[in-house]
Structure 1
Amino acid sequence: MNILFVADPLEHFKIYKDTTFSMMREAQRRGHGVSACEPRDLGWQTGQPVTATVRDITLTGHGERWFTETPARSTPLHTFDAVIMRKDPPFDAEYIYATHLLGQAEREGAKVFNSPAALRDHPEKLAVMEFQQFTSPTLVTRDPAAVRAFHAEHKDIILKPLDGMGGMGIFRVREDALNLGSITETLNKNGAETIMVQRFVPEISLGDKRILIIAGEPVPFVLARIPQGTEVRGNLAAGGKGVAQPLSDSNRKIAEAVGRALAPRGLLLIGLDVIGDYVTEINVTSPTCFQEITDQTGFDVPRRFIDALEQSLGGT
């Protein structure tokens, strides 16, 4: 089987923790061919299939140059057995254009994971609103007056941009409402952009739990990303400490419900973020934490993912 990974530049990977790297490594271990490109390498010409300028790579796992490669070649996407979209946010216009090109490749016969249409239809923060039975009170708006009213009702709130990642742009405002107006103006760019506001969940002190859902089934271990010092953010990119732990019964029920709903829509891999028993985000672009969970628990998440990929393709 030949697999194409559409990802960020390989030269920027931190292979000791990178989830895409762990997918590649497991695929190569099974004898599958591994190729890579960036979204900017995708192209579509009149009368031709969607193509990409790809590099066929072999993982060596040594130092910064952890792979060898063949000369780049232009190849139709539908000639690969699977195309895995692993580009990190931001979920901007270029990302959306890439999903349209990948969608055309699907019509030409390519098998793309996660589904390009599903990526567009499930922006990671807004997607939680489909599952309001599992969410803390939440407001999506660009109206400063609505934000003030929400704060007056809930007293302790979190504000964040809809297109952020890794904890970027997350603010907590307590009962004193200190800087609420300034924070709102900064995030919504004086009313030009929509933001999300949620009631603060104090269980963040126990960790922002990343639950991985593969082919609709939750992985039995989670990574609790615990804020450090005075930080309110548990994100690893914001300095949080990642501690793997068994999936709780209550969180399993949430994950199973989300998986049953979303997996049939073409979302092979989902990263569910849960604080306490509240879903805060549903990550579908490039969910991470494979290596952290595997290293700490011995449960082989990359193996589970490639198993599911092969099953989706009808076996190897």
Structure 2
Amino acid sequence: MKIAFLADPLAGFKTYKDSTFAMMREAAKRGHEIYAFEQSDMALEEGIVSANVARITLTGDAHDWFRADAAQETRLSAFDAVLQRKDPPFDMEYVYATYLLELAEKQGARVFNKPSAIRDHNEKLSIAQFSEFTSPTLVSSDSARLRAFHAKHGDVIFKPLDGMGGAGIFRIKSDGMNLGSVIETLTVNGARTIMAQRYIPDIVKGDKRILVIGGKPVPFSLARIPQGDEIRGNLAAGGVGVAQPLSERDRHIGDTLGPVLAERGLLLVGLDVIGSCLTEVNVTSPTCFQEITDQSGFDVAAMFIDALEQQAGKH
């Protein structure tokens, strides 16, 4: 297959932990042709979506890890699969990219994850579709509502709807210290909608990333465990990742959501679970492939490429 990766600049990859690199390595090992381009390389002209795409050869060197041929303008429909692996922020440029990719689909491109599904699944708000698995949650920009939610639950997490890597997350305990300031800051004095959730004490055991590929959960999660006085388990916030087998509850969540999300065109999803509660549905560029594989021995990238071959059709 000819597989094109829409990604951030390859020179910035940390190959020892990058999930997109793990996908590329596994695909190349199977003889697939690897291509790469960035969001800014795409264009729509005379009704056709194309991009300046470079063929990539992996060198096997951990640092100088790829060689890129000269980029050529190519219709996205010329590839057997286009993988959307651009990291957030999910800003308007990201949204415009989904529109272009959706047009490319109409011209015959096979895009994973499906652009409209990425756009329709806000990674925080999507949990509301599966409320049987969530902690008590409020989404609002209204200070009075947010204060009342805190008064009811006593220990509450406040976070923006467009954050990543744990940015902008605050815990307000029952004493209400800094409650007003946090609400004003996150909502920009009522102009921005945020999420409040009852604090889940099991965060001390880790914020578990459960990968779901082709509707089926990977049998191991990565528990991202907060360090010191930190409340955030995100690896970007200093959390330590520990691979562990899925619990019965983890598997139930994965088995329940997996087929639903796969049917919507989401080949790869990262479910975040704290204790027994679903906290996020990550659809943009889910990670943790290499951490899970290195610690558990389960080859996540192989499972992913298996699913991609099945979906895109092996040629």
Determine if the TM-score, normalized by the shorter chain, exceeds 0.5. Answer: yes
Figure out how many residues of one structure are paired with residues of the other and give that number: 315
Determine the structure 2 residue equivalent to 1:190.
Answer: 189
CA drift of 1:314 comes to: 2.8
1:8 aligns with 2:8: yes
- The residue type paired with residue 218 of structure 2 is V
Determine the structure 1 residue equivalent to 2:78.
Answer: 79
- CA 1:61 to 1:162, structure 2 compared with 1: closer, same or farther past 3 Å? farther
Q: Counterparts of 1:238 and 1:30 in 2: how far apart (Å)?
A: 35
8 Å CA contact 2:16–2:62 kept in 1: the answer is no
- The residue type paired with residue 97 of structure 1 is Y
Q: Counterparts of 1:251 and 1:215 in 2: how far apart (Å)?
A: 17
Q: Secondary structure at the match of 1:293?
A: helix
8 Å CA contact 1:42–1:52 kept in 2: the answer is yes
8 Å CA contact 1:11–1:64 kept in 2: the answer is no
- The residue type paired with residue 56 of structure 1 is R
Q: Secondary structure at the match of 1:31?
A: coil
Determine the structure 1 residue equivalent to 2:242.
Answer: 243
CA drift of 1:60 comes to: 1.4
Determine the structure 2 residue equivalent to 1:22.
Answer: 22
1:101 aligns with 2:100: yes
Q: Counterparts of 2:294 and 2:60 in 1: how far apart (Å)?
A: 16
Q: Counterparts of 1:171 and 1:291 in 2: how far apart (Å)?
A: 29
Q: Counterparts of 2:313 and 2:64 in 1: how far apart (Å)?
A: 34
Deviations 1:58-111 (A, max 9, x none): 111324321001011111000001000001111111100000000000000000
8 Å CA contact 1:7–1:85 kept in 2: the answer is yes
Determine the structure 2 residue equivalent to 1:293.
Answer: 292
Q: Secondary structure at the match of 1:228?
A: coil
RMSD: 0.8
Determine the structure 1 residue equivalent to 2:199.
Answer: 200
CA drift of 1:182 comes to: 0.7
Determine the structure 1 residue equivalent to 2:51.
Answer: 52
Q: Counterparts of 1:238 and 1:80 in 2: how far apart (Å)?
A: 37
8 Å CA contact 1:143–1:191 kept in 2: the answer is yes
Listed as ranges, the gaps of 5+ residues in structure 1 are: none
Deviation beyond 6 Å, 4+ runs, structure 1: none
- Counting only pairs closer than 5 Å after superposition, residues 136-147 of structure 1 correspond to structure 2 as 136-147=135-146
Q: Secondary structure at the match of 1:160?
A: strand
CA drift of 1:302 comes to: 0.1
CA drift of 1:315 comes to: 3.0
CA drift of 1:246 comes to: 0.3
Determine the structure 1 residue equivalent to 2:180.
Answer: 181
Deviations 1:230-251 (A, max 9, x none): 0000000000000000011111
Q: Secondary structure at the match of 1:299?
A: coil
- The residue type paired with residue 306 of structure 1 is I
Q: Counterparts of 1:143 and 1:38 in 2: how far apart (Å)?
A: 38
Q: Secondary structure at the match of 2:278?
A: strand
- The residue type paired with residue 7 of structure 1 is A
Q: Counterparts of 1:99 and 1:133 in 2: how far apart (Å)?
A: 30
Determine the structure 1 residue equivalent to 2:273.
Answer: 274
Q: Counterparts of 2:203 and 2:167 in 1: how far apart (Å)?
A: 16
Q: Counterparts of 1:56 and 1:188 in 2: how far apart (Å)?
A: 44
Listed as ranges, the gaps of 5+ residues in structure 2 are: none
CA drift of 1:186 comes to: 1.1
CA drift of 1:260 comes to: 1.9
- Counting only pairs closer than 5 Å after superposition, residues 191-270 of structure 1 correspond to structure 2 as 191-270=190-269
- The residue type paired with residue 273 of structure 1 is D
- The residue type paired with residue 79 of structure 2 is F
Determine the structure 2 residue equivalent to 1:35.
Answer: 35
- The residue type paired with residue 112 of structure 1 is V
8 Å CA contact 2:203–2:275 kept in 1: the answer is yes
Q: Counterparts of 2:147 and 2:289 in 1: how far apart (Å)?
A: 39
Q: Counterparts of 2:184 and 2:13 in 1: how far apart (Å)?
A: 34
Deviations 1:154-174 (A, max 9, x none): 000001111110101110000
- The residue type paired with residue 10 of structure 2 is L
